[in-house]
Amino acid sequence: MDFSIKTIDAKTGTTGIKTDCIVVGVFENKKLSQAARELDRKGDIAAALKSGDISGKPGSTLLLRNTDGIASERILLLGMGNEETISEKNFLSAAQALARSLAGLGAKDATLALPLDSVNKRDAAWAIRSIILAIRDNAYRPDTLKSQKDANSNGVRKLAFATGTTDSAAAKNAVAQAVALANGMELTKDLGNLPSNVCTPTYLANTAKKLAKDYKFGIEVLDRRQLEALKMGSFLSVTKGSEEPPKFIILKHMGGKTKDAPVVLVGKGITFDTGGISLKPGANMDEMKYDMCGAASVLGTFRAIGEMGLKLNVIGIVPSCENMPSGRASKPGDIVTSMSGQTIEILNTDAEGRLILCDALTYAERFKPAAVVDIATLTGACVTALGHHNTGLFTRHDDAHDELADELLAAGKATGDTAWRMPIEDSYQEQLKSNFADMANIGGPPGGSITAACFLERFTRKYTWAHLDIAGTAWKSGAAKGATGRPVPLLTTFLLNRAQAGSGRKAA
């Protein structure tokens, strides 16, 4: 769908807007929004409310046709809930209902004349983004590999947001950013939903190369020989059992000042996780194609910031491989040496994400980063702790790390892509002790998501760092099975806020 801004004529108001369908808000207790009152010349809208044809409750809808004195052929009434305070929840319900309604209309274009700036504690830009994301999510189909594509409706193809002249520039910027974000989320969903026989490490590398070409990113892809030269023994231990070659992808978006240190995003890219020799149960193992959603979210975020032309230096690192059992695979009890020189006793080969991430986090040191955020479908323990609503956020407890945590939490809250801060303390590090190596790769069942973060923390002490465990938020199971596109909204907004604040520090 094409999205645009339409400026309302001060003389004619919404009655003069020429469109196939105009959308206006109505409220509970039979109240009309300002735009609805302008259109209600004959009392048709008020009569519909009075008769109970539409309740005004969030997400309720009613279509009126051929209303006298109105330039638009159709008027779509959209319930917004309480007039006094349009809550965020009610507006999102209305946005989702709007997306479904527009998909089923015979109209080619529509104009929204909704009270976008009346949502409690939110601005019009948030409302515009919410509507665009709801529409794009409703239209998304994971049918890339189907011989018969899922049926798409012949609904509205062009949607305009009606605004006043003073709001036009800000609204246009909000639309552009929302579309870029939706595009980034769609790429992340597509990559996550592809099967592992298609979305291999090489496929991820080729996707990164295409992004680099399209948006003029710097790109480097390291192969096994180069990883051996870098002494990434931990990463390489995971890929030993697979026939697929590993790839280590580095993307560079240098949109900021030359001397500004970059923000580094590190995404776990296990394109399929059998558990290795510590083999997973067969039930639902197909969902382990989603173990590369951290990598997909980094690539999706780069798609978004590339389209936005973000004025910030951002580097993406994606270590990618499969975790497969074979005669060459790592075994429980094996000891490997990481790029940092620290040795690791592999007690469970299914705790492999941290083994590839630790070398990537060590590699990130060379960029003298302002901050590093790793994103990974790391632990089932995080799902147990937080369910499927919040991403787990882990970082050290000091002023610099508290500030980074606050930035990420605020970005999540602003977008509805929420995270929850979890503890990470030295007392948990005791669980990673090994008699034979510097550390073990697991710390036992208690606090499993925390000890996983504590493992990663040992490789990040030269910079400011945070870890996002997205195991519960990156995809859905059951009838709604599919990648969610999270945490692209959180990451993109985090980077946008940094760019706007000019928070890149000087490189050392």
Catalytic residue numbers? Answer: 280, 354
Using CA atoms, how far residue 243 sits from 116, 237, 246, 377, in Å, is 53, 13, 9, 23
Cα separation, 67 vs 78, in Å, equals 16
Tell me which residue of 323, 329, 405, 313 sits closest to 356, measured CA to CA: 323
Tell me which residue of 488, 490, 504, 497 sits closest to 304, measured CA to CA: 488
Q: 408: buried, middle or exposed (CB in 10 Å: 19+, 13-18, 0-12)? A: buried
Give the number of other CB atoms < 10 A from CB of residue 436: 9
- Pull the structure tokens for residue 164: 């006043």
| DSSP 8-class letter at 431 | G
- Pull the structure tokens for residue 409: 């939490």
Longest Cα–Cα distance in the chain? 84
Residue 334 contacts residue 427 (beta carbons within 8 Å): no
Cα separation, 218 vs 103, in Å, equals 39
Beta bridge partners of residue 160, listed in sequence order? 4, 111
**Site of tokens 């006298």:** 68
Cα separation, 64 vs 66, in Å, equals 7
What is the DSSP annotation of 453-507? HHHHHTT-TTS-EEEEE-TTTSEE-GGG-EE--TTHHHHHHHHHHHHHHT-PPBP
Contacts of residue 72, Cβ cutoff 8 Å, sequence gap at least 6: 17, 18, 19, 20, 21, 22, 111
Cα separation, 361 vs 254, in Å, equals 20
**Site of tokens 């036009």:** 168
Using CA atoms, how far residue 478 sits from 30, 186, 284, 330, 347, in Å, is 39, 20, 10, 32, 31
Contacts of residue 141, Cβ cutoff 8 Å, sequence gap at least 6: 149, 150, 152
Residues composing the chain: 508
